[in-house]
Structure 1
Amino acid sequence: GGGILGVCAVGSASGETVSYNAGTVFPTASVIKAAIVAEMWAQIGEGTLAPDMSVTSGADDRVAGSGVLADLEPGHSFTLAELSRLAISVSDNTASNAVLRAVGGPGVVNRRMRETWGMTDTVIHRPIRFHLTPDDPSHTATGTPADMCRFMHAVATGTLHSPAVCERMMALLAMCDDTAMLPRYLEVNAFADDLDTTSPPFTVHHKPGAVTGVRNDAGVVRRTVAPFGHVALAVYTKGVADPRWTVANRGCEAVAKVAELLVERLL
């Protein structure tokens, strides 16, 4: 499959950090939606937005790819809270664009990432779209594994924003439906409570992303039994030659294996 791998992870108990190409810039793909949604909840925490604020998805927001809203007739209204859940749980592109518009656009998120969250190498270049003009940047966003690991660690430790905003983000990231990468080889079961079965010792809170040649995942793996703790990690790839859009893609497999090794080492 070829390609380039980038890794950054930190264990909460030991403070040990593992990094490999952690400062290399990669396309983020949909991983960036975590930062867009965090900006939204930060503004809600600051009183400039409200979670029950109604947003009507416009034609400019609509984009195909992952999610469900693009298949609905335009003009549906959703609350910001609903849109944020769709952006994370099913990586809805249309919902993500609506949230990005509601918070004030890429520049607003970029400023907070750079000035407040210490994500100095991560930039949102444009809304999500597939039919690009010659003037469009080729990727929605680019950034480093180090930046996204720092972001996820701050969410997990309640320091990204207020504890309430961080708790909201952890809850949303736990709703992610995609198990192809970070959770793939971990002992997790997101449906344990619904099925009344014993919960496994880990919970995964994450946001993956994929575009052609790129498979990424970033998040937090939390141990729910003693000894408690968490690992914050970001595993990025680019230049993966495997054309498959299934879990068999070598990029998916690489991210999953690396995540498994990191959790074994750091948690």
Structure 2
Amino acid sequence: MSGATGWEARAQRAIRGMFADAGVRGWLHVADLYRPEACVTIDPDEPVPVGSVYKVPLMAAFCRLADAGTLDPRERMTLGPADRMPGPTGISILRDDITLSLRDLVVLMMSVSDNTAADAVLRRVGTEAVDAVCRELGLPFTRIHGGVATTFAQLMAETGTESLGAAMRRLADNDATVPPVVYSPLLKASATPSDMARLLRAIWTGRAASAESCAFMRDAMGKQPWTHRLASGFPYDDVTVSGKTGTFGSMRHEAGVVELADGSAYTAVVFTQAARADSRLPRADAVIGAAARIAVEELRGNEGT
């Protein structure tokens, strides 16, 4: 980061070293929630494919439409087998028809990253509404491009495979050459760390939507059960970590907020891409939390500077 202070440069060096040790390329933006100018960043304005992190701006668009009365959050949707999107959680793994309210679908897409729920919400909200929210909240590099459905279709076309399973196996093969376009942000759900930090700040300070809707969004993100990424860096009972993970091939991400017992809070956005394509790389997951913790510790140690 050009013009970084001594402590900022120290934090950046430490975090880059951690990324290298974990075998990943990293992008990072960690900032004081109430003083966003106090931040630690690494390539914060570079767009990358974000996987399920796109569900955060989708949730914000849903809430704004609900606030405006354009849609009823209690509206019920019935999803059958033909509506299923591939995914390891939630409705995606069920076999029979299921009926839920729109807002419960939002909770599922945010808590267990349910792809089927997210696709149903996006079809109801519309990509135009999400793009509009991104413009209004100052997220110039965030695009969802049709969400998970478009990402999966693009992936099959780019890898020249006839099924999503075959495409995923191609990505997970360390001996296969993956076309560079697969990880291009141009046609997939993409964002920058700074965009996601700005969105999180708007949600936590009540500017992303109505006060009631922002409380709903914070609660939904607080219900995410995954602790292997961002939360792994803050394993304490008196620390609250709310977030949304995202995974796409060799990319592992999380965008969230860390709230400490003394009332301080930090937006923490860490995107990574591993050198290897293995589906399980515990060190690549854990470095997300470790890097965020180093950044938070540096910010706390240099308050007021």
AA matched with 2:191: G
Provide the secondary structure at the position in 2 that maps to 1:204: strand
Q: CA deviation at 1:11?
A: 0.6
- Cα RMSD, aligned residues only: 2.2
AA matched with 2:271: Y
CA distance in 1, matches of 2:283, 2:191: 21
Matched, 1:22 2:44: yes
AA matched with 2:143: V
Q: 2:293 is matched with which residue? A: 260
Q: 2:103 is matched with which residue? A: 81
Q: CA deviation at 1:165?
A: 1.3
CA distance in 2, matches of 1:205, 1:141: 21
Q: Identity of aligned pairs, percent?
A: 28
* More helix as a share of residues: 2
Preserved CA contact (<8 Å) 2:230 2:286 = no
CA distance in 2, matches of 1:100, 1:123: 13
Unaligned stretches of 5+ residues in structure 1: 189-199
Q: 1:166 is matched with which residue? A: 214
CA distance in 2, matches of 1:262, 1:57: 42
Q: 2:238 aligns with which of 187, 201, 204?
A: 201
CA distance in 1, matches of 2:48, 2:42: 13
CA distance in 1, matches of 2:51, 2:284: 13
Q: 2:140 aligns with which of 99, 105, 120?
A: 120
Equivalent residues in 2 for 1:155-194 (5 A)? Answer: 155-188=203-236
Write out the 4+ residue segments of structure 1 that deviate beyond 6 Å after TM superposition: none
Greater Cα offset, 214-223 or 58-67: 58-67
Q: CA deviation at 1:30?
A: 0.8
- TM-score, normalised relative to structure 2: 0.76
- Closer, same or farther in 2 for the Cα pair 1:58/1:120, shift >3 Å? farther
Preserved CA contact (<8 Å) 2:83 2:116 = yes
Larger Rg: 2
Preserved CA contact (<8 Å) 1:31 1:207 = yes
CA distance in 2, matches of 1:60, 1:6: 37
Q: CA deviation at 1:2?
A: 4.0
Q: 2:272 aligns with which of 237, 240, 243?
A: 237
Q: 1:107 is matched with which residue? A: 128
Q: CA deviation at 1:26?
A: 0.9
Preserved CA contact (<8 Å) 2:60 2:133 = no
Unaligned stretches of 5+ residues in structure 2: 1-21, 160-180, 301-305
Deviations 1:146-203 (A, max 9, x none): 1001111111111112211111111000000111111012034xxxxxxxxxxx2211
AA matched with 2:211: P
Q: 1:197 is matched with which residue? A: none
- TM-score, normalised relative to structure 1: 0.86
Preserved CA contact (<8 Å) 2:74 2:103 = yes
CA distance in 1, matches of 2:83, 2:93: 12
Q: CA deviation at 1:220?
A: 0.7
- Closer, same or farther in 2 for the Cα pair 1:61/1:144, shift >3 Å? farther
Preserved CA contact (<8 Å) 1:242 1:251 = no
Q: CA deviation at 1:135?
A: 8.0
AA matched with 2:157: P
Tell me the number of residue pairs that the alignment of Structure 1 and Structure 2 aligns.
250
CA distance in 2, matches of 1:40, 1:60: 23
Greater Cα offset, 91-100 or 30-39: 30-39
Provide the secondary structure at the position in 2 that maps to 1:34: helix
